[in-house]
Chains A and B, each alone.
Chain A
Amino acid sequence: MEWITKNLPYLMAGISVGGQYALIAIGYTMVYGILRLINFAHGDIFMVAGLIMVYAVTVMPMPLAIVLVIAATVALGFFVERAAYKPLRSAPRMSVMISAIGVSYLLQNLALYITGGLSQQYPAIPWLSDTVTILGATTKRVTLVTPVLTVALVVVLVLLIKYTKIGMAMRAASRDFETSQLMGIKLNSVISMTFVIGSFLAAIGSMLYFTNYTGVTPTAGAMPGLKAFVAAVFGGIGSIPGAVIGAFIIGICENIIKGLGWTTFSDAFTFALLIVILIAKPTGLFGEKAIDKV
């Protein structure tokens, strides 16, 4: 019993942070699946969602602020795609990647300009921020809610992709860009939908993440974004269940490493894991095999 009380917090922290990485990782993996683009701005969209919340609660009640955060983040993701990626649709892939890096820096510097570079205190969301005790370990309720909510959202997303028309269009577009276009799929709306879903999940992820770790800085999205990206690659980029499982594995391992007292190596471990996976299984855990198209 005492052993559980002592070690449960590590596991809980791992599962909770894994869930938050998962919500961001889905955004990376879906965009990659369709556009073959690593959207470097995704972590910063996550950070902007946090900032919007900080400013929104000063002028409106919490439920309204939550709705606004989701709406504004989705709109931001949509406009970023329209303004920075769509005009480059036929350009070499590298140009789009550079454009994504540009957007990432733009968002970070805008945030720096608006906040003045100081850490902003994230507001406490009632119920989620309450302290609870389970099996003798004290934590915030959000820690328990995160994995449940993450899994629920992923199930909904997988169903959406499997059984709806837009989902079918997404799958088609990820298989073959040109052919799906020939079959009458409106590629632009499919791609926009991908960004909308990714940004929506990033907004939810930001609420869960910042409720636990309450400081929002212009670079707050960089580390979670990077870890989520590693999770997406780890699970096999392009695969949604892969990204989620990868994120949970990384979150849990990271915290167990810290629990063992090797705190200095917790980040090193994450990235070493990535290298090992890439050597042993270049397509990741659930990645599809690369097929040479003729």
Chain B
Amino acid sequence: MKKRILSVLLAAAMLSTLLAGCERKPEAAADGTGSADGNVVRIGVFEPASGDNGAGGKQETLGIQYANYVTPTVEIGGEEYTVQLDIVDNESSNDKAPSAAATLVSDGVSVVLGSYGSGVSIAGSDTFKEAGIPVIGVTCTNPQITEGNTHYFRICFLDPFQGTVLANFANDNFGAKKAYVLTKLGDDYSTGLGYYFTQAFEALGGEVVEETFQEGNSDFTSYITSAKNEGADVFFAPSSTEVAALLVEQAASQGLEIPLLAGDTWDSNVILNAAEGKNVDIYVSTFYQEGGDPEFDAGIKEWINSDSTAKANNGGDDTVSGLTVMGYDAYYVALEALKAAGSTDPAAVNEALWDVTYSGVSGDISFNEIGDANRDAAYIKHANTETGAWDFVAEQSVAQ
């Protein structure tokens, strides 16, 4: 009999953990601050909170939450609306993304922000398209996301641009002639950025050695050995932060002497923590350098430090990631669109988005005819292994 009770208990525990993954927390609704007349506009947040890109997704969401904390209401068509964030977890997984997107659609959101990670953005795109809901991509940099559709916008730069910036940087600063490019198989962000970097680097007369790794791989020692044996001048690894932490650690223990180069995903304190006190040389391209807007920095640091959950989601300290800044700006772009539309109807918001302009913390934002932001500059940062902070290196732009 005891056994039977135990097995029932175990079965119950198993079921409850399965459901725990699906649990969602509508943010503003719970605290009872909804305006008296019940005017509520829902903004969907389509971000990974677990899986490979969980750390980055959480930091991006943090920026959106902070913006919502600063500006919890918006005036639409002469009436005051409370903004309610509807946060779903797409689990960094291309096959989970459509169902997370469907949840937002059935919740009746007016506009969606996200996602960190190009693969999940592409995977979720069609669900939003069919429902006629516009999406504002925050840091998804793969060109395919906005191509051939009218509902997906984005406020960040694109991979062809970012790849060129990094290739130029490698060529100008290190006189690099040979680059080792390591990408993840089946990851749209990683292979995309790797491809554009290779194109740009070869156009500059450089030579590229390309290798790939698979999902679930955590042994990078052989890749590092190969990079050394090939005599590469730079190691370019566009990848998730999870992989980055492993790679940095193993590069340090194997004494890799060439600089490690990466894109916007590495702009995270996960990398800073992994690199601290080790002999590694890391450069990343990103959207924002801490100190660019002191007022914003001070405000968000105070908010992060006052909220232990926010601090944990930011990786345990108050370093301001470029991702957080982009999340913050994306929220205001969404508000601008809602104001311009004068309605919470997704179709009206979609129409209004084309003409939205906004001066954000990360720079001026406006959209071109594809729905991409007009951006022409990226920041290059260097990981300081002594202080555990990012050092500003250069603001790099490309002749288009």
Residue among A83, A109, A117 having the largest count of chain B Cβ atoms under 10 Å: A117
Q: Are A213 and B218 in contact, with the CB atoms below 8 A? A: yes
- Chain A interface size range: 35 or more
Q: A105, A116, A138: which contacts B18 (Cβ < 8 A)?
A: A105
Q: Are B246 and A215 in contact, with the CB atoms below 8 A? A: yes
Minimum CB–CB distance for B281 against chain A, Å: 16
- Of B3-11, B35-43, B125-133, the stretch lying at the interface with chain A is B3-11
CA distance A113 to B3 in the complex (A): 26
A263 neighbours in B (Cβ, 8 Å): 211-213, 222-223
In the complex, B308 has a CB within 8 A of chain A: no
Minimum CB–CB distance for A224 against chain B, Å: 8
Within 8 A of B (CB), among A56-115: 83-84, 86-87, 102, 105-106, 109-110, 112-113
CA distance A6 to B229 in the complex (A): 6
CA distance A3 to B3 in the complex (A): 61
Q: Are A117 and B54 in contact, with the CB atoms below 8 A? A: yes
Q: Are A117 and B51 in contact, with the CB atoms below 8 A? A: yes
Q: A6, A112, A223: which contacts B218 (Cβ < 8 A)?
A: A223
Within 8 A of A (CB), among B8-61: 10, 13-14, 17-18, 20-21, 49-51, 54-55, 58
Minimum CB–CB distance for B253 against chain A, Å: 5
Q: Using a CB–CB distance below 8 Å, which chain A residues touch chain B?
A: 6, 9-10, 13, 17, 83-84, 86-87, 102, 105-106, 109-110, 112-113, 116-119, 121, 129, 131, 138-140, 212-215, 217-220, 222-223, 255, 258-259, 261, 263-264, 266-267
B212 neighbours in A (Cβ, 8 Å): 263-264
Q: Are B49 and A113 in contact, with the CB atoms below 8 A? A: no
Minimum CB–CB distance for B383 against chain A, Å: 16
B255 neighbours in A (Cβ, 8 Å): 131, 138
In the complex, B204 has a CB within 8 A of chain A: no
* Identity of the chain B residue whose Cβ is nearest the Cβ of A108 in the assembled complex: B17
Q: Count residues of chain B with CB under 8 A from any CB of chain A.
A: 50
Task: Please list 18 pairs of residues, one from A and one from B, whose beta carbons are closer than 8 Å in the complex, sorted by A's number.
Answer: A6-B229, A9-B222, A17-B219, A83-B7, A87-B7, A109-B18, A116-B54, A116-B313, A117-B50, A119-B54, A121-B245, A121-B273, A139-B221, A213-B218, A214-B245, A220-B218, A259-B225, A259-B226
B4 neighbours in A (Cβ, 8 Å): 87
Q: Are A87 and B3 in contact, with the CB atoms below 8 A? A: yes
Minimum CB–CB distance for A51 against chain B, Å: 15
Minimum CB–CB distance for B105 against chain A, Å: 23
Minimum CB–CB distance for A10 against chain B, Å: 6
A131 neighbours in B (Cβ, 8 Å): 253, 255
* Identity of the chain B residue whose Cβ is nearest the Cβ of A268 in the assembled complex: B214
Residue among B3, B10, B224 having the largest count of chain A Cβ atoms under 10 Å: B10
Q: Are B6 and A83 in contact, with the CB atoms below 8 A? A: yes
B17 neighbours in A (Cβ, 8 Å): 106, 109-110, 112-113
CA distance A221 to B224 in the complex (A): 23
Minimum CB–CB distance for B398 against chain A, Å: 30
B228 neighbours in A (Cβ, 8 Å): 6
Q: Are A9 and B254 in contact, with the CB atoms below 8 A? A: yes
Q: Are B216 and A219 in contact, with the CB atoms below 8 A? A: yes
Q: Are B185 and A264 in contact, with the CB atoms below 8 A? A: yes
